[in-house]
Structure 1
Amino acid sequence: MEMFDRVGAEMGAAVQDMQFPGLVWSLTSGHDAGRQVALEAPGDVPGDALIRIASVTKPIAAAATLALTEAGVLDLDDPVERFVPSWAGRRVLGIRNGPLSETVPADRPTTVRDLLAMGFGLGYDAGAPEGDALSAATSAAGLYSDWRVPALDPDTWAERAAVLPMAHQPGQGWLYQSSFDALTVVVQAATGQGFEAVLRERILDPLGMAETGFTVPEESLDRVPRHGFPDAAGGPAEILPAGDRALLTPPRFPSAATGLVSTAADLMRFASMLLDGGSGPNRRVLTEDSVRAMTTETTTGAGREMGRGLLPEGQAWGLGVGIDPAGRFGWDGGTGSSLWVDPAAGVAGVLLTTEGMGSPEPPAYLQRFWRAVQSLPT
């Protein structure tokens, strides 16, 4: 197929320019019996490499949450305090980026929908001035995660979040990351299960994603490649070893925001389900209404403004996915991972790499991949 050949040639060239040369890509085109799938691994890693997917965890977590709503376990409009009583009566900063001592009441409870819409009121604020009080307090409390899950256990995380004010009124802002850490706490409280067990029951097992999880079995560690994170000057800021034994131990905080390890083949099963409107290979995993809700814009004007620098220019946010002006939806992860679905073209793509992004700016290999998929000039 022309698209597969074009992408294969481009990524074969792109991997030569990477500081940590390793990537696996997969594309699917079409539906059902007419579907065509390609998977290639130019560079130094095998096609079945087990790679940290960072924020590509978010769409999977969002899908699991929507599956819970379909089962009646929770509702998108449930107040989060129903499940986490300490989050009742949260206050809101009276002035954007103002002092923590000046707050006003929230005008309504924060809901499960708000969490999926990145509206918990805590998180990374790219527009905050240096010395921003709420950002500093959030960091001091140990609440931030990145490609690594929080170091706290979920109960402690919830207690520390409860005493901090929100940066904005519920539904009126967009701060990155912490909403999905909060989602973990809510889902575990609502189900009485660990978060990974929920993912496995609602999404991973129905789709046959047997190699996706927060840990890696010892016998599979030889499929975990070295992973590097360039610093701003282009040098290695951090290198995770091949066969990283840290992946043998379950995290204290199995986060909805980050932390899953997966393969390109597993992620393509998930992307294909979304491309098919919620239908998996053996049964329906999500209703068409849930997929529609997931891919409908939730960002207000204030939310888009607040998200500048972390929500890419021109993109909106749905429930756990970004949405571009052409209607493609998906998300990228800071470890160099990417998963997007193009319903109009009938195409879904996955890219996993061993070179972390280092900044919100998309790295060259990521831009080259998606431009080749869309047949745009490089």
Structure 2
Amino acid sequence: MAPPATSPDRVESALDRVESWVDDEGIPGASIALVDGSEVVATDGFGRRGPDRPATGDTLYAVGSVTKPVTALATLVLADRKGIDLDDPIADYVPYFADAPGEPVTVGRLLSHTSGMPNDDLAFAADALDGWDEFRSFVAESTDRGLLDDDRFYYYNSGYAVLDRLVTAVSGTEFPTFVRRAVFDPLEMREATFDRSVFTDPSADVMTPYVSAAEEFRDAAGSENPILTSDLLRAPGGLLASVTDLARLVRAHLADDPPLSETVFDRLSTRVATRERLVDGTETAYGHGLESEPFGSDRLVGHGGNTGCSGGYVGFLEDAGVGIAIAHTGVADGKAATRDALAVLVGVDPDAIDPVAAVDAVLDDLVGRYESPGGNHHATVRRDEARLDVAFGGDGGRFEVRALPLDLSGSLYRFTDVDCAESTTDVEWYAGDTPKLVFEGMPFRRVGPRSADGD
């Protein structure tokens, strides 16, 4: 990879963007690292990691599901070394899902959340489960509720806990030990750990668990949060890491000569399923441990996480070759901060690459006053958060519809209205300099801004 090409001014602007996010959102403390090719070009901390203790680039955070790409990477390394095919049934290796209905639950389907197994709220249930034997019973109880008709994405934390058991059984070493040897050591993630005893080490540069901006920092070590205490959740979300170490994970993805097999890294983000689809057609894809989505003409690849008292995001732009690691205390949207910072880093308007902002722009553009061709009917369109409220008037009387967007991906925007009788009515707009509204076959042309009286 070529030497860093990002200008120091852009690096500084990206750091400023994250600092503003921390201030604006009331986040107690956060840390950031920026990556350009094979170099970590900046690390910084904002706010405090605990009472009177500043956050730094080396502060350890519980980063929740940012753990998943690490667990996935360890699983893929194991598969590469031991000849495990991702299409192999997981039951060939560990005693899970042998009696699940339908097609076998495979290693790959657990990695990509496409096993059909339902979300079983493991993050909330783990505290009541006494070890791995009870966890196996917990999983078995939910297998008959699987949704097996297609390969839809269902986020499944228990699937990643089962991958913990796979790694332990096949490697012959405990999951944290294997991850240390197979991932942390070759990627030089020196401080990353699954050892929660660091919370009680007074000399450690570690976050204090924190719930919300309305509360004070906790004095306890997060003992009431199973994500921070339960071994059942270490593979789905138990990683403790600094942004410095997470930046090394990002750097490994961007390297021309990665420290692990290039095939392993490619599998992490190669599309398997659609995780989310916005009404404008923008899709977030999920691979075997990483998600990806459009970022202008580029793609943002990464993963976020949340523990309820902290979280983070790691990501990189495929073509631009730059990346980011964010970690924070409290509950916050690290992915939104990532988009803003990366946009500034590559010289793009952040609003231009925000998919939610794109939907907002479409909705805002349709607001106004409309008239039918003969002038006998009119409509006033107002924005109400994620929907448009349309007040019709004229010869046909007065009535309102609440138009919810269904598809904004083309030049014909489709909405629907659900009335009190639970019937649906299509509401459509044709995009253009002068939008045209069609309701029950009647066309309306926008003639001006919305009126003050709302008729």
TM bracket, shorter-chain basis = 0.7 to 0.9
Aligned twin of 2:43:
39
**Consecutive unaligned residues in structure 2, runs of 5 or more:** 1-7, 49-54, 352-455
Q: Which structure has the higher relative contact order (CA within 8 Å, separation 6+)?
A: 1
| TM-superposition CA deviations, 1:149-175 (whole Å, max 9, x none) | 885423321222123224222861211
Matched-pair identity in %: 24
SS at match of 2:138: helix
Quickly say closer, same or farther: Cα 1:253–1:221, change in 2 above 3 A.
farther
Aligned-pair CA distance for 1:239:
5.6
Aligned twin of 1:119:
114
Residue-pair matches, total: 323
Letter in 2 for 1:159: S
Query: Which residue of 120, 123, 136 corresponds with 1:145?
Result: 123
Query: Which residue of 51, 58, 61 corresponds with 2:61?
Result: 51
Aligned twin of 2:3:
none
Q: Which has the greater radius of gyration? A: 2
**8 Å Cα contact 2:285/2:291 also seen in 1:** yes
Whole-angstrom CA distance in 2 between matches of 1:363 and 1:290: 24
**8 Å Cα contact 1:58/1:256 also seen in 2:** yes
Query: Which residue of 299, 302, 310 corresponds with 1:327?
Result: 299
Query: Which residue of 68, 72, 75 corresponds with 1:65?
Result: 75
Whole-angstrom CA distance in 2 between matches of 1:298 and 1:363: 21
Aligned-pair CA distance for 1:176:
0.9
Aligned twin of 1:208:
188
Query: Which residue of 111, 136, 139 corresponds with 1:161?
Result: 139
Whole-angstrom CA distance in 2 between matches of 1:268 and 1:149: 31
Quickly say closer, same or farther: Cα 1:152–1:258, change in 2 above 3 A.
farther
Aligned twin of 2:311:
336
TM-score, L = length of structure 2: 0.63
Please say if 1:226 is aligned against 2:195: no
How big is the alpha-carbon RMSD for the aligned residues of Structure 1 and Structure 2?
Answer: 3.1
| TM-superposition CA deviations, 1:16-41 (whole Å, max 9, x none) | 2232331111111123xxx3511111
**8 Å Cα contact 1:195/1:254 also seen in 2:** no
Q: Matches of residues 289-328 of structure 1 in structure 2 within 5 Å?
A: 289-299=263-273, 304=275, 314-325=283-294, 326-328=298-300
Higher strand share: 2
**8 Å Cα contact 1:277/1:291 also seen in 2:** no
Whole-angstrom CA distance in 2 between matches of 1:269 and 1:200: 14
SS at match of 2:34: strand
Quickly say closer, same or farther: Cα 1:243–1:87, change in 2 above 3 A.
closer
Aligned twin of 1:100:
none
SS at match of 1:292: helix
Quickly say closer, same or farther: Cα 1:123–1:277, change in 2 above 3 A.
farther
Quickly say closer, same or farther: Cα 1:345–1:278, change in 2 above 3 A.
same
Aligned twin of 1:127:
none
Aligned-pair CA distance for 1:11:
2.1
Query: Which residue of 31, 34, 46 corresponds with 1:27?
Result: 34
Aligned twin of 1:94:
none
Whole-angstrom CA distance in 2 between matches of 1:171 and 1:183: 22
Please say if 1:78 is aligned against 2:88: yes
Aligned twin of 2:363:
none
Please say if 1:257 is aligned against 2:242: no
